Structure 1
Amino acid sequence: MKKSPDKPLDAGKLRLRAEERLQRRRPARAAQPTPIDAARLVHELQVHQIELEMQNEELQQERARVEVLAARYTELYDFAPVGYFSLDREGVIRQANLRGARLLGLDRSNLMQQRFGLFVAESDRPAFSAFLQKEFAGAGAQSCELGLCKGGDASMWVRIEATASEDGQECRAVVLDLSERRQAEAQARAAVVETQRLLALSERSRRALLSAAEDQEAATRALRDSEQRFRGLVEQSLTGIYISQDGAFLYANPRLEEVLGYRPGELVGVRADDIVIAEDLPIMQAKREALRAGATTSNYEVRARRKDGAIIELGVQGRVLESRGVKTTIGMAQDITEKKRAEEEIQRHIARLKAAFAGTVDVTMRMSEMRDPYTAGHERRVSEIAAAIGAELGLEAQATEGLRVAGQLHDVGKIAVPAEILAKPGKLSAIELRLIREHPQAGYDVLAGVEFPWPVAQVALQHHERMDGSGYPQGLKGEAILLEARIMAVADVVEAMSSHRPYRPGLGIGKALAEIERGRGTAYDPAVADACLKLFREKEYALPA
C-alpha cells in the first residue's frame, strides 16, 4: 500500500498536475474555435474536476490503510493471551479486553464500573489494596501474585503487573493466568496496557475519515498517535511477545530479543525449532499439533538455547488467530530459569523437612518404647497395619500417611505411666488399671500443641474408644469417633493380641482376627473390621516384623 503524504498536496502543484492530465485527455485535433471566455471557463472546470478526482484517490488510499490498521489493532488487543485492564484510583474497571473478561468469568459489558478487588480472593484483598496504593503513589511498575475468584468458583492464581498512566489517574494492568502452574506459586510477569482506550480512539479516527474528507488530516494524526502508543506498549513490555507463522518468527519485541540474546530484528525468520533444545522439541511439537487439531491456546515450558549458547528455561503461552484464511500465533515467552531453580530448592527443602519430621516421630516412638521394653516395636507395627487397612478402605495416600504417623505416636502417653506398671507380669490393681487408662489423655496433652496436618492428637485420645460406647476415656459412640481412631483401634487390638506381653504369651493372629470378627459392629467399625479381615485372610497380609 502506498504511504499517504503527511499533508494535502500543494494547491499550485495539484493544479499543474491537473493541467498535465487534461492535456493528455484532449483529442489530437483541436476543437472549433470558441469565444475566449467560454474556453477559459471550460478549461477551469475541467482542471477543477481532475483536482477533485485526485483528492478522492488520495482519500480512498488513506481510508483503506486505516481499515487495515484498525483490524490489526483489534485482533492484537481482544485476542491477546493475557487479560488487559484499566483501573482507576479506586480499583474500578474502566476498560478490559475479551481475555480479561473470560478470566473473571463475566461478559465484558458486565465488568465495566465494577471494582476489580471484588474478584480477588478474600485472603489476598489486603495485598491487592496495598499493591494498588503503592502503584498510584508513584513507585513505578509493580507486580504481585494473588488468587482470583472466577464467577464465584474456587480461586485461580494470577500474576498482575501494572503501571500508572502519565496523568496518574489510571492504572494499566496485565493479568496472566498462572493456575496451571499453581504449585510453583510465582509465575509470569505481564505488560501494562491501556489498549482499549487507544483502540476506541482509532475507531473514532476511522469513522471521522470515512464521514468527511475535511477531517482527514486530524484523523490521520490521531491514528498515528494511537499506533505509536500501541507500539510503545508492546515494545516496552517486560514480557517477551512474539508473532509467528508456520513455526517461524514474524515479529519479536525487544524483551524477547533480550531474553534470547539476539540483536534487534535478528529473530525475524528464525524457527522456534532451532532455539528449543532437542530433548524438549517433542513438548513444543505436541502443543503445535494440538493447535493444528483445533486448540486455540497452548501453555508449556521448554529449555531454549540463547544465541550465546547458554541454556535457559522458557514459559510459553500462545494463542492462534485466523485472519483472511491465514493462521498466526500470538504469544508470550518469559525467562523462568530462576523460578525453576527456586522451585527445585523448595522441593529439596521440603524433603529435608519431611526427613526431619520422620526422624522426630521415630525418636519420640523409641523414647516411648524405652519405657516399656516388652512392647518394643508395637507402635511401628500398629502404624503399618493401620496404613494397610486405610489403603484397603480406599483412603488417599495423604490420609494413609497420617495413619502411619498417628500409629507411631498413639501410645506416647504411656511415658506418664510408671515403668513398673507397664512391665508388671501379673494382674493390675484397680489403681494401676486407672493409671494405664489415663495414657490416651496424656498422649493427647503431649500432641495437642503440635500442628500436624492430620488429627494425630485426637487419634491418640480416641484409639481405645469403642463403637458401642464401652471404650475409654470419653465413652464415645459410633460416628462420634474419628474414622482414623476406629482404624487405629482395630490395628492396635490385632497387634497387641498377636504379640507377647509381660502378663501373657502372644495369642497369634488367628485369635486376634477372631476377636475382630466377634466385635464387628459392636466394639469395632464394621467396614474397618471387614477391611482388616479381608487383608489378612484373602490378601495374605502378614504382620510386620
Structure 2
Amino acid sequence: MKRTQNKLDATVLRQKAEALLKKKPLKTVSLLSEFEALKLVQELEVHQLELELQKEELVLANEQAELAAEKYAELYHFAPLGYFTLYQSDKIIDLNLSGAEMLGEERSRLKNSRFGFFVSNDTKPIFKHFLKEVFRSKAKITCEVTLINNGKMPMYVHLSGIAIENAEYCYVIAVDITDRKQTEEALIETNAHLENLINYANAPIIIWDSQFRITRFNRAFESLTGRLEKEILGKSLEILFPPALTENSMALIRKTLTGERWEAVEIKILHSDTSTRTVLWNSATLYTSDGKKPIATIAQGQDITKRKLAEEALVKLKKAIDTSGEAIFLTDRDGVFTFVNPAFTSLYGFSSDEVIGKTTPRIIKSEVLNKSVYEVFWKTLLNGDEVRGELINKRKDGTLISVENSSTPIIDEDKNIIGFLGIQRNITERKLAEQELIRAKERAEE
C-alpha cells in the first residue's frame, strides 16, 4: 500500500516539474558535438540514478519514521503509566489510555477536562501546590494524591511533572501506588497494634541491638526497674544488672547473637532503689532480610521475685521441720496422712511410705481413750478451732506412748478446711515420772 502511494507521489511530482519547466523561458544553447552530447546524456543518466537512490532512501526513511510513530503511539497509549499533558490551569490537553482508565472516563471525553476535578478533596491542596511548583521551578516535581473515579475505590497515585521550556503546558506521569499505600497503611496499623501490645502487656518486654544497647522497653519494664524508658534508651544493658552479676548476665546475653533462644533463663535485674528482682526470661533474635545477620533481640520476662522468696522460705521451713525434735505431720480433710517428718517416723517406728495415704486412727489410735474423746476432737477441728491436749497413741511395735498434741485446721482462700497440721511431743517419760511420783507420795502417806 505504501509502495503504491509512493509511486503516485512520484508521478505527481514529475507532472509538477514538467509544468514548471514549460513556464520557464527557453535558453539558447549552442550545438553540441556528438561526443559532448553523449557525455551529457551519460551525466544525466548518472544523475537520474543518484536521484532514484536518494528517493528510495527517503521512502525507506519515511516508512521507518511512520513505523516508529506507530510504535510510539502504542507505547504511549498502552503503557501501564498514565501520561498527561496539562495546561497551567490543570486543563487536560492530551492523555493516554492508561491515564483515561485512572480517571474512569473515555479518553475523548476527558480532553479539555480539569485534572483537579478527579483529585480527592483532602489532596487537592497538594495537587495545586505541585502544579504551581512544576511551572515555577521548571524542574521535575513529584507528589502523591488520591484520585476519585466514578464511585470506585480511591486510587493512590504518584505524580511526576515537568514544564516544557517556553510553553504553557507540562507533562505529568501518574503511577498507581494503591497497593503500596494499602500495604503501608496495613503495616502502620499492624505496627500500632504491636506497639500497643508491647506497651500495655503485663509482662516486662525489652529490645536491644547487636551492640547490646537498649532500644525499646515497655511500661511493665519501667515498673520492674523503676526507670523511665527515656532515661536509659541507647545505653548498655550492663546498667540493668547488680554489679556482682553483670559479667555472668552479659555472658548469657551475648549468646543470643549466635542464635540461641531463651526458653526460661533466670537473670536478676537491679531496681533503681538498689533492690534486686529475679526475672525468668524468654527471647527471640531478629535478623536481616537474608536471615544471616542478627540485628536485635527481643526478650519478655516474668517477675518471679515473690515466688523465689516463697521457695526460699519453704526450703527453710522444710529444713526446720525435718530437723525438729517434735513429730510434725499433715493430713487432708479426711484425716489421711499427706506428710510426716523424720521425728514422726522416729517416734512411731513407721517409715513415711507406710504412713502416707493412711488415716491417722488406723495407724496410731491406741483404743485406750474413750470414743467420745475422739468425737470431741474431730468436732472441734471441723468447726475450725485448734485442739490441744494429751493423747495416748500406739507405736508400730504396739507399745503405748503419751504425746502432747496440737492440731490446727488448714484453711484455703475461700475459708474452707482443706486439711490439718499436727504437732506432737513425746511425754511418755514425763508421764511415767509423774505416775512414779504419785505412787511414791501415796506410799509416804500410808
Report the TM range for the smaller structure's normalisation: 0.3 to 0.5
Higher strand proportion (structure 1 or 2) = 2
TM-score by length of 2: 0.41
TM-score by length of 1: 0.34
Q: Which has the higher contact order (CA 8 A, sep 6+)?
A: 1
